[in-house]
Amino acid sequence: MQDYYLWIKALHVISVIAWMAGMLYLPRLYVYHAGTEIGSPQSETFKTMELRLYRYIMGPASVAAVLTGAGLIAVFGMAIFREPWFHVKLTCVVLMLICHHALGRWRKAFAQDRNSKSPKFFRIVNEVPTLLMVVIVIMVVVKPF
């Protein structure tokens, strides 16, 4: 496995970047979508954009990030679970996955013209993936504890 470490790491970074791009952009689309009239051409365009971003970019990227992350854990071995920073990182990754699925539920609500959330709500939601990403990067790079 050690021979493949750098390849797994590179694929992990690529998939995380793609996933985070969607995690940062989709809530912004929701901000704009929530301000449009149901059935309007703009609303229908947002539905298409949201579906494509969620299903064809975020979905595969999140799966790839999790699988390559598991591959990195396999390379490091179970010893990594003794590191406190890793538990914080893993908790944030789980929270990111929960956020990902919440974005998916809201996408379905928009698709069915049943959104009940305001643009302000989605502006706040837009900050959650950013905060989680900051903590994850600090844990992985700085390893503060």
What is the 8-class DSSP label of residue 40? S
24-74 pLDDT per residue, tens: 999 999 999 999 999 999 999 999 999 999 999 999 999 999 999 999 999
Condensed to tens digits (0 to 9), the pLDDT of residues 100-145 reads: 999 999 999 999 999 999 999 999 999 999 999 999 999 999 999 9
> Taking the model in full, what pTM does it have?
0.94
Q: Where do the domains of the chain lie?
A: 2-141
Cα–Cα distance measured from residue 130 to residue 138, given in angstroms and rounded to the nearest whole number: 12
Alpha carbons 96 and 86: distance in angstroms, whole number: 15
